[in-house]
Amino acid sequence: MSWRAKALRAVLRLTVRQHLIRARDPEPERARFDRWAARFCPVPRGVRQSKVSLGCSALRLDPAQAGDGTLLYFHGGAYLTGSPRTHAGLVGELSKRAGVTALLPRYRLGPEHPAPAAFNDALATWRALRFKGIAPQKIVLGGDSAGGGLALALLSQLCRDGTPPAGAFAFSPWTDLTLSGASHRENAALDHYLPASRLAEARDMVLQGRDPADPRISPLFAIFPNPPPVLIHVAATEILRDDALRMAEVLPGADIRCARDLPHVWPFFHAILPEARITLDETAAFIRQCLAQASLTGR
């Protein structure tokens, strides 16, 4: 564990986590997240940004050296905050390392647009890509936190439709809105970023009375017939640890990697964390491998 990881854990616990404990209204949090991300996680040099329409508006990121592949990435933020802008730096860095074009949809957020609005937008984005002639085997799905859960929920739908992508990955995904994982209790005092006491409230703002076990919002309860390769990263001290680890129950072939005492979605902090850069390199290699294998098999 690097000294930078130890320092970051302390800073997040004293700042972001304390703020999230007090935050009530998602709207000002969205603007605050945008400003914070622009300051601490800018888009890397050599990555061009442009706006596109894919069922919903989306941000396109093109690294200088991009091969024949597309990363469809869904941002995190508990389905209440976050945007393509907040995650452009993280995804731009990943697309640059993987050598692929990346797309970040601006899916609808709660509480204004309760579930399954985000899933419907994710599916619409996939269909728009297919309409443009991009084959499933040329696409890799990805996401973090709520966006990681969204990527896995979309993967389930595509597997059931018989049109799976080349692969999928998730950083610290939120996959179980029933909040049944033991880590919600066991890691309540250990998570350096997310306050366990607020998760049920956030969940209720998103669901507004809908079934928390709906696989469109909780892919832990989904089915994945004949899935492509799946990579999941999570840290042992996260409250969402079991949301990731229990995905092995429905995706027994998934590569689920449990890091030590790192913050929620630590790849976001790649500018300062060597552990984050290692995770991004591993994920970039996974993306390239998925695309290469899918190209060979024609899947």
Domain locations along the chain: 3-297
Q: Side chain identity at 288, as an amino acid letter? A: R
The set of residues, in sequence order, having a beta carbon less than 8 Å from that of 94 and lying 6+ positions away, is 71, 73, 102, 142, 267, 280, 283, 284, 287
pLDDT of residue 299 exceeding 80, the answer is no
Q: Is 238 a catalytic residue?
A: yes
Cis peptide, bond prior to residue 116, ω within 30 of zero: yes
Which residue out of 75, 87, 264, 270 is catalytically annotated?
Answer: 264
Q: What is the mean pLDDT of residues 185-210?
A: 95
pLDDT tens, position by position, 18-63: 989 888 899 999 999 999 898 888 999 999 999 999 989 999 999 9
Identify the CA nearest to 248 among candidates 237, 232, 261: 232
Which residue out of 75, 87, 156, 238 is catalytically annotated?
Answer: 238
* Span 3-297 CATH architecture: 3-Layer(aba) Sandwich (3.40)
Which residue out of 145, 156, 172, 183 is catalytically annotated?
Answer: 145
Residue owning tokens 């990805």: 142
Q: What is the mean pLDDT of residues 184-209?
A: 95
Say how many C-beta atoms besides its own lie within 10 A of residue 250's C-beta.
18
pLDDT tens, position by position, 250-297: 999 999 999 999 999 999 999 999 999 999 999 999 999 999 998 888
Cis peptide, bond prior to residue 111, ω within 30 of zero: yes
Q: Is 145 a catalytic residue?
A: yes
Edge-to-edge, what's the strand order for the sheet holding 56-63? 47-54, 56-63, 101-105, 70-74, 139-143, 167-171, 230-235, 255-259
